[in-house]
Amino acid sequence: MSETAFPVNDLLRRRLQTGLTLLSLTVCVASTLFLLLFGDQIGFGLTSVAENTLTVGYYSIFSSFLLFVLVLVFAVGAVIVSFITFLIMAQRTRDFGLIKAAGCPNSLVFSYFLTELLIVLFLGCVLGIALGFLTDYAVINVGGFQAFQKAPNFWFAPLVFVAFFVFGLIFGLRPLENAASLSPAAALSPMQYYGLTEGNKFKALSKSRLTLKIASRSLFRRQSATVRIVIFLSIVFILLTVSIAGSIIANDTTTTRIEDAVGKDILLVAHKDMGDQYISLLSKFSGATADADFNYLNPNFALTDVVIQQLNVTSGIANFEKRLVCKKQIQELSNFTYTDSATISIGDNRTVNSLIVGVDPEKALSEWFTEGHFLKTDSSLEAVVGDSLAAIMFEMPLLQSFRLKNTTLNNVGVCLDPINNGVVAYVPLETLESLTNVSDPNIVLVKLDSSVDRSNVITQIQERLTAVNSDLRVFELNEALNKNVSFLGSLWSIVTFLPLFSLVAATLCLIGYLMLAIDEQSKEFAILRAMGAKPKTVVVILAVQSLIVLFASFGVGISFGVIITLMILISHPVVTSFAILAIAAWLFAALAGMFLLSLYPAVRFAKKPILTIMS
Amino acid sequence: MSMPSDFVVETRSLIRAYPLGEAQVEVLKGITLNIAKGEFVALCGPSGSGKTTMLNLISGIDRPTNGKLIVLGEDLTVQDEDFLAEFRCNHVGFVFQSYNLVSTLTVAENVAFPMEWIKKAEAEIETRVKELLETVGLQHRANHFPAQLSGGEQQRVAFARALANDPELILADEPTGNLDATNGQKITQVLQMLKSNGRTVIVATHDPELMRLADRTMCLEDGKLASQSE
């Protein structure tokens, strides 16, 4: 028999095992490649995204998640490949022994199985690379991410191919080398080919029901494979928790912060051009553009006392807030900070053209999430900068100040605000008015009483404004807010679904593990059935094994996943009871799905006649 | 039991064929026999004559291709897997040539599990296990695993397990085939005890000792009943 004819025929003879192995390898290679391509295309780089969408603060949460998920997917891929190759080769130990017992030289048997391993690895990696590119193309074009589209980085393909091929080879060779070192008799012993422990001294769960007893003891008996699958599934559940819990909590947290910064159900009163510009500045977060040369301090935009008077007399208004918005060049001021041993210079006198918003701290309708604190009534020479401005212009923003015209303003806080993608500085209204010599605000934010007929009050306000100046308008900020929120939602939903591939691969591995269990215990199952066990008893025993493995991994995975999500990836998370329910529902759905699918080989096996199993 | 009958086993023109490629190979070629209650029958014949297949069919482990098979009043040819499982558990004790103990269970647990399936009380199971292990002389091995026992001991555990639910019919497939003379003798003693208790026993065997013990010996040859002797 030629050295390639046997491995090829052998792989074709074991169609189900070969098919499952190839499928698992393909899915795992494809998921890793897709993640790399997709992550690269939507941009891991900070500047490329921050300039067009999001703010630095929001993007850093998103990109750190994406990177973490990618690292986990790669780890899952590596563990899957090692597990699959270990599994398929460990299962061949008996065949190894049989062929050796028939007189075939050790080196020839080794080369047979090595060829099998190489064929499976090569095919799995090639198919995975193709599927990875295909999935990336489909997600980008069908999933509505054309805006991010750029040519995929083809260098990822050889990188993933080589990495996974080498992983697979290293981990697949170990059981082969072990088998080669055994005598034919030892290789034929179940003690060897299922990684069984010597004897059976440990009586797990001896007081429990029969099915649980058999299931738990079999798991302990196959401890090598059991430990591997538990470690592997734990990583998968960490990945799932980070991506599902993380994306739901991060979405809630970032959405809450946007809603707090913009304000919910807020109306904007402004000159029509100023209003359009303000909404464009808010929508830059989700990809819109704003007029860069807009003249914010155009006298026509001033909202005079007459306008304010009209708002004062309109019934149904709960509160309103005057703001002065302009764009000015500001200059960073360098400073010094002291460590235990030295004085360090910070800052570099950089200049940036930033949006400046004058607010009355006492009347502000927004509640910014702020590192440090927001402006207070006596903060005449203080400022709060947006997160992007803080990242672009300052080294240590809370220890620095900036110059606006000839006035120095001390940074007291860094806030998350979607307006102008976070390139914004909030200063006291009076200070800005005196610095710009403008005495009237150019926008007013209005909050209505929740009990009033909203559209009726809006019509009233619009009529009163038109009576003063026909160019004045009332704008709903909810539209821009909702656009930003849904943009964030779509970004987080990507993170939620990224581990889907890994989940499929994990399920296939669990199926592979149960096939190993069936293979190892098939004689026992046949005996049990011959003694009067119903076919469903066999399914129950295998289901219990699957559940023990899944719950052990679930516990470890969820614990680490939650710690990573809440303590490392998101600071000050907003965790609502709905989010907890949603996360639990997703995770349990994944658990239930994996469990049910893993039973497929058990159900198939239970239908086999007893004599077929025994033979 | 749905049909009262004088016979524990009744077969008419029983055929069992297995596919071999495109062809069908008949292992049993129209066996007709009756076995009465309390009878000790030895099935003999050369290897491949169909003895094991016959026992598999009678126990409901396998299904006939054609013919009639009534065991303890039940027509086994028309029953589903769940019924056959319950039937084996409650009414048939099977002893395999290769012992076939469950390696993950201790000796006591191996004897106990058929009783657990019919949901006997725990205390009752415990008493019965003790009693059965005393009967086969293995009470001191109760907490050992099968791998820690000799072949003869394993076969005696297999007998204890087969008797767990006090079955009306006991089938043994070459129970002494893998044993040395001393251990074979012990198994013969167990079978003698079953015979004196009035159980219906069918043993597939080459062992002259067991054949001497039998009320009737049926010889199979090439899937046919070649001879019978009282």
- H or E segment and range at residue A497: helix A478-497
pLDDT beyond 50 at B164: yes
| Number of Cβ atoms within 10 Å of the Cβ of A593 | 13
The sign one gets for the Cα dihedral A163, A169, A170, A172 is positive
From chain B, the residues in CB contact with A536 under 8 A are 82
Take residue A266 and report the two structure tokens written for it: 């807020």
Residue B57 pLDDT grade (very low, low, confident, very high; cuts 50, 70, 90): very high
Give the residue numbers spanning the domain of B67. 7-229
**Rounded CA separation B221/B200 (Å):** 23
User: Which of A419, A370, A425 has the alpha carbon at shortest distance from A403?
Assistant: A425
Answer for the pair A179, A63: CB distance below 8 angstroms, yes or no.
no
Q: Which of A210, A213, A533 sits opposite B85 (nearest CB)?
A: A533
Compare all CA atoms of chain A with the CA of B117 and give the residue at the minimum distance: A533
Angle subtended at Cα A189 by Cα A510 and Cα A614, rounded to the nearest 5 degrees? 70
* pLDDT digits 0-9 by tens, B104-130: 888 999 999 889 888 888 899 999 999
Collapsing DSSP to helix, strand or coil, A46 comes out as helix
Q: Is the pLDDT of residue A43 over 60?
A: no
pLDDT at B4: 53
Q: How far is CA B199 from CA A6, A98, A532, A543, B75, in A?
A: 53, 43, 19, 38, 21
**Mean per-residue pLDDT for B57-79?**
93
Rg (CA), chain B: 17
CA distance A566 to B150: 58
Which residues make Cβ contacts (< 8 Å) with residue A90, sequence separation at least 6? A175, A193, A194, A195, A224, A225, A516
Q: What is the 3-state secondary structure (H, E, C) of A220-261?
A: HHCHHHHHHHHHHHHHHHHHHHHHHHHHHHHHHHHHHHHHHH
CB contact under 8 A, B85 and A200: no
Q: List pLDDT tens digits, range A576-587.
A: 888 889 989 988
User: Tokens 């090692």 appear where?
Assistant: A82
Partner B contacted by A299 (CB < 8 A): no
**Is B35 within the bounds of a domain?**
yes
Model confidence at A42, pLDDT cuts 50, 70, 90, reads low
- Per-residue model confidence (pLDDT) at position A37: 82
Q: What is the distance between the alpha carbons of residues A264 and A266, in angstroms, rounded to a whole number?
A: 5
What percentage of residues in chain A have a pLDDT greater than 90? 29
Chain-centroid distance of CA A239 in Å reads: 8
* Lowest-pLDDT choice from A141-155, A553-567, B12-26: A141-155
Q: Which of A6-20, A209-223, A377-391 has the lowest mean pLDDT?
A: A6-20
Count A/B contacts: CB-CB distance under 8 Å: 76
Do residue B103 and residue A537 have CB atoms under 8 angstroms apart? no
Judge whether A275 and A268 are in contact, CB under 8 Å: yes
Q: What is the mean pLDDT of residues A131-135?
A: 90
- Whether residue A16 is predicted with pLDDT greater than 90 in this model: the reply is no
B1 belongs to a structural domain = no
Asked whether residue B67 carries a pLDDT value surpassing 80, the answer given is: yes
Whether A22 has a pLDDT exceeding 80, the answer reads yes
CA distance A600 to A120: 23
Using 50, 70 and 90 to split pLDDT, how confident is the model at A145?
Answer: low
Q: Are A210 and B125 in contact (CB under 8 A)?
A: no
- Note whether A531 and B112 are within 8 A (CB): no
pLDDT of A45: 41
Please judge whether A532 and B116 are an interchain contact, meaning their C-beta atoms are less than 8 angstroms apart.
no
A46-50, A234-238, A336-340: lowest mean pLDDT where?
Answer: A46-50
Question: Percent of chain B beyond pLDDT 90?
Answer: 58
Structure confidence at residue A225 (pLDDT): 79
Strands A317-333 and A335-338 turn out to be unpaired
Q: For residue A611, which residues of chain B lie inside 8 Å, CB to CB?
A: 56, 61-62
At B155, the amino acid letter reads Q
ipTM for the complex shown: 0.85
Q: Which of A478, A587, A589 is nearest to A248 (CA)?
A: A587
Q: Mark residue B198 as left, alpha or beta (left: phi above 0; alpha: psi -120 to 50; beta: remaining).
A: left
Q: Is B201 on the interface with A (CB under 8 A)?
A: no
Least confident of A67-76, A361-370, A536-545, B25-34: A67-76
pLDDT tens digit sequence for B196-223 = 888 899 999 998 888 999 999 999 999 9
Task: Write down the pLDDT at residue A337.
Answer: 77
Backbone angles phi, psi at B121, to 5 degrees: -65, 150
Res. B74 pLDDT band, cuts 50 70 90: very high
Option in B56, B85, B100 nearest A532 (CB): B85
Is B202 domain-assigned?
yes
Residues in chain A: 615
What would the DSSP string read from start to end of A67-85?
A: HHHHHHHHHHHHHHHHHHH
> What b-and-e string marks burial along A475-492, b requiring 16 or more CB atoms within 10 Å of the CB?
bebbebbebbbebbeebb
Label residue A436 exposed, middle or buried (CB < 10 Å: 0-12, 13-18, 19+).
Answer: middle
Q: Has residue A521 got a pLDDT over 80?
A: yes
Locus of tokens 């039937």:
B87
Whether the pLDDT of residue A402 is over 90: the answer is yes
User: Looking at residue A164, what is its pLDDT?
Assistant: 87
Chain B residues near residue A610 by CB distance under 8 angstroms: 61-62
Instruction: Write down the domain spans for chain A.
Output: 1-193, 199-261+496-615, 264-476
pLDDT at A258: 86
> From B100, which residue of chain A is nearest by alpha-carbon distance?
A527
Q: Is the pLDDT of residue A26 over 70?
A: yes
What is the pLDDT, as a whole number, of residue B226? 84
Q: Are A489 and A251 in contact (CB under 8 A)?
A: yes
- Position B38 pLDDT exceeds 50: yes
Tell me: pLDDT of A144 over 80: no
- Cβ neighbours around A359 below 10 Å, total: 25
B89-95: average pLDDT: 92
pLDDT in tens, A272-304: 999 999 999 888 777 777 888 899 999 999 999
Whether chain B has a CB inside 8 Å of the CB on A528: the answer is yes
pLDDT reading at A193 higher than 60: no
Please list every residue in chain B whose beta carbon sits closer than 8 Å to the beta carbon of residue A609. Answer: 62-63
User: Looking at residue B91, which CATH number applies to its domain?
Assistant: 3.40.50.300
Tell me whether strands B40-44 and B169-173 are parallel, antiparallel or unpaired.
unpaired
Phi and psi at B60, nearest 5°, equal 85, 10
Give the per-residue pLDDT at A461. 92
**B157: its two tokens:** 């555990």
Query: What b/e sequence results for A175-189 when a residue is b if at least 16 CB atoms lie within 10 Å of its CB, and e otherwise?
Result: bbebbbebebeebbb
Q: What is the sign of the dihedral through the CA atoms of B14, B19, B25 and B27?
A: negative
Give the per-residue pLDDT at A187: 67
Burial bucket for residue A150 (CB in 10 Å: 0-12, 13-18, 19+)? exposed
The answer to whether residue B2 scores a pLDDT higher than 60 is no
pLDDT at A267: 92
Q: Is the pLDDT of residue B93 over 90?
A: yes
Spatial separation of the C-alpha atoms in residues A479 and A485, rounded to whole Å? 10
The pLDDT of A532-554, averaged and rounded, is 92
Within an 8 Å CB–CB cutoff, is residue B148 touching chain A? yes
Our count of domains for chain B comes to 1
Q: Do A610 and B94 touch (CB under 8 A)?
A: no
Decide if pLDDT at A203 tops 70: no
Q: Please tell me if residue A529 touches chain B, with a CB cutoff of 8 Å.
A: yes
| Close Cβ partners of A612 (under 8 Å, ≥ 6 residues apart) | none
Does residue B167 belong to any structural domain of this protein? yes
Domain membership of residue B2 (yes or no) is no
Q: What angle do CA B139, B141, B144 make, to 5 degrees?
A: 145
Give dist(CA A431, CA A413) in Å, integer. Answer: 17
Instruction: Specify the residue for token string 């100040």.
Output: A401
Confidence tier at A202 by pLDDT (50, 70, 90): very low
Q: Helix, strand, coil proportions of chain B in percent (round to 5)?
A: 40, 30, 35
Give just the sign of the alpha carbon dihedral B79, B81, B86, B88.
Answer: positive
Residues in chain B: 230
| DSSP code at position A499 | T
Given a cut of 50, is residue A313 above it in pLDDT?
yes
Identify whether the C-beta of residue B42 lies closer than 8 Å to the C-beta of residue B35. Answer: no
pLDDT the model gives residue A192: 52
Residue whose entry in the numeric block shows the structure tokens 């919910």: A264
pLDDT, position A3:
58
| Mean pLDDT score across all residues of chain A | 83
- The answer to whether the Cβ–Cβ distance between A610 and B62 falls below 8 Å is yes
- Give the closest-approach CA distance of A523 to chain B in angstroms: 8
**A192 versus A413: which is more confidently predicted?**
A413
